[in-house]
Structure 1
Amino acid sequence: MPGTPLHQILADHADAVRTAWLSAVADELRGRTSRGELEREQSDIFDALVDGLAQGATSLDHPAFDQLRGTLSDVSSARARLGFTPRETAVAVFALKEGLYVLDAQVRDDVSPLLRLVDALGLFTFESFAAARESIIAEQAEQLLELSTPVVKLWDGIVAVPLVGTLDSARTQVVMEKLLNTLVETGSDHAIIDITGVPAVDTQVAQHLLKTVVAARLMGAECTISGIRPQIAQTIVALGIEFGDISTRASLADALVDALRSRASTRNEVLA
């Protein structure tokens, strides 16, 4: 004789299961979130679980559990952004077992499939949390990259990009975009790329610098690379790196003087 369907078992004993579940989660989180918020999350997860089971779903990848997976992903992402730990996030699902243990003592039917399903839900929650946290870290890294790459206006028509740290492909793209946007916004025709804060220049770094200069020139701006220290100059010579007709200077001050002279010379030629 077939047993009671799992969704019916959960529905019939919903109050007992959810009470034990909520108590376990609240004890673990210890005020990290309000009881009302926990009840809302719990209700969404529980209802989606019962609905999926009612449609014949037995594994988490079943289409009937689409809403459940979406709910778990939303909860995981929210917890990641609020700074919860993986344990604090996963307990929102794994604590459901406390309710199922109560259920197991009250019914004759086998609820072990539900326990296995909760394990799958917990693993999915943990994976969703990890993916969300990686996304957050990537966003923060991008924001820090933008903050660490300012483009400043030194004079009318002259902007500078003081670089500090390693110059890789990702950062080159940020530098290029910010420089080009600033050239357009300010109407500048001179750009100084200062590498005083770049610890070392190798062939790859040089290529990144050249790409940035070419991009600026396409916008009609002349570029100067400043911050060529003795050690950097020796390295560039040893590696056989050629900057071609790109102007280089030892310091940002020297580059600014050159840019001002160039602008004055251009202005005099126009007046003449």
Structure 2
Amino acid sequence: MTRLISENESAILADWVQFLATRESRLSPQEGRAQATDFLHTLGQAVASGGISDINAANFAEVRDLLAGVSRTRAIQGFSPSETAIFVFSLKQALFDRARASIKDPREAADIVWAFSDLLDRLGLFTIESFQKTRDELIERQRQEIEELSTPVVKLWDGIVALPLIGTLDSARTQVVMQNLLETIVQTGAEIAILDITGVPTVDTLVAQHLLKTVSAARLMGADCIISGIRPQIAQTIVQLGVELNVISKATLADALALALRRTGRTIEKARRTSKALGDDTTEKRD
């Protein structure tokens, strides 16, 4: 097995690279050849230095590292799992052709081909697992970034902040909401926090509990809370569930802001439209 790669490495590499060129259109020929060269050379060293029964053995450490790097790069570049796995599985054909051409004994050739086929199957599965792990990490990071972007705390006035909530509230997102709100309360010294749930599609017992946790945390930081955006359907649901919010609520964010301003000793008055302000000439012209 060791001799098959060491004595035919150039020929195997040429056949393999030619096959990859027809299947990996996203990679440049130079990049595809470089990855294939590194993998085949590293695989040959691993096979020569120990057995092939366990790819988790020490002699396959460099092979695993190389495949993990290839998988991670391709996951970030947007490759599919099959496009990534074909990098390993496609080596079978090149090894099979070279074994058939260089080994005269059919049984020996069959045994070697079978052993390499089994080895490449296990390495291919390792590649897919590494690829999926990277994809899961990317998805989780993107989910966290979206959660942070979808829970902005807005300063409406001195001492008044608002947190517009959009989408479903689960335990993980509630933690992000609570953290962002509390940090903003500390930074701005806000006295009142408005939780606007206009963008929350439904409110069940679990969502209500998450809201109450956020309200309680804000109160511990010295800020009172007002919930706005409660639609008639949500109000009926809360009543039917028998949930006690124990917090002042308003139908709209405008109503909540008006209440918050009154609580902080401010009033809003409509400015009078005067003739001078409008720039009108009210003087009667005479001949």
TM over 0.5: yes
Contact 1:201 1:236 in 2 (8 A): yes
For residues 141-156 of structure 1, the aligned pairs below 5 Å read 141-156=143-158
Q: Percent identity?
A: 50
SS in 2 for 1:159: strand
Give the CA deviation at 1:81.
Answer: 1.1
State the distance in 2 between where 1:115 and 1:232 align: 60
State the distance in 2 between where 1:256 and 1:78 align: 49
Name the residue aligned to 2:67: 72
Give the CA deviation at 1:253.
Answer: 0.9
SS in 1 for 2:79: coil
Match status 1:91 vs 2:86: yes
SS in 1 for 2:195: strand
Instruction: Give 5+ residue unaligned stretches, structure 2.
Output: 267-287
State the distance in 2 between where 1:147 and 1:223 align: 22
Structure 2 residue aligned with 1:63, among 58, 61, 68? 58
Contact 1:16 1:102 in 2 (8 A): no
Structure 2 residue aligned with 1:15, among 10, 20, 37? 10
State the distance in 1 between where 2:45 and 2:189 align: 61
Name the residue aligned to 1:249: 250
Q: Number of matched residues?
A: 258
SS in 1 for 2:265: helix
Give the CA deviation at 1:176.
Answer: 0.9
For residues 171-210 of structure 1, the aligned pairs below 5 Å read 171-210=173-212
State the distance in 2 between where 1:243 and 1:262 align: 20
Match status 1:115 vs 2:117: yes
Name the residue aligned to 2:271: none
Contact 1:224 1:248 in 2 (8 A): yes
Give the CA deviation at 1:48.
Answer: 2.3
Name the residue aligned to 1:106: 101
RMSD of aligned alpha carbons: 1.7
State the distance in 2 between where 1:57 and 1:252 align: 69
Name the residue aligned to 1:53: 47
Give the CA deviation at 1:187.
Answer: 2.8
Name the residue aligned to 1:158: 160
State the distance in 1 between where 2:217 and 2:128 align: 44
Contact 1:57 1:65 in 2 (8 A): no
State the distance in 1 between where 2:89 and 2:191 align: 61
Structure 1 residue aligned with 2:171, among 165, 169, 172? 169
Instruction: Deviation per CA, 1:120-178: give whole Å up to 9, x if none.
Output: 21122122222222222222222222222222111122111111221111211111111
Larger-gyration structure (1/2):
2
Which 4+ runs in 1 deviate beyond 6 A? none
SS in 2 for 1:228: coil
Instruction: Deviation per CA, 1:6-62: give whole Å up to 9, x if none.
Output: 2333122110111111111111012x1112221222233223212211221313222
TM (norm. structure 2) is 0.84
Amino acid at match of 1:191: A
State the distance in 1 between where 2:189 and 2:101 align: 77
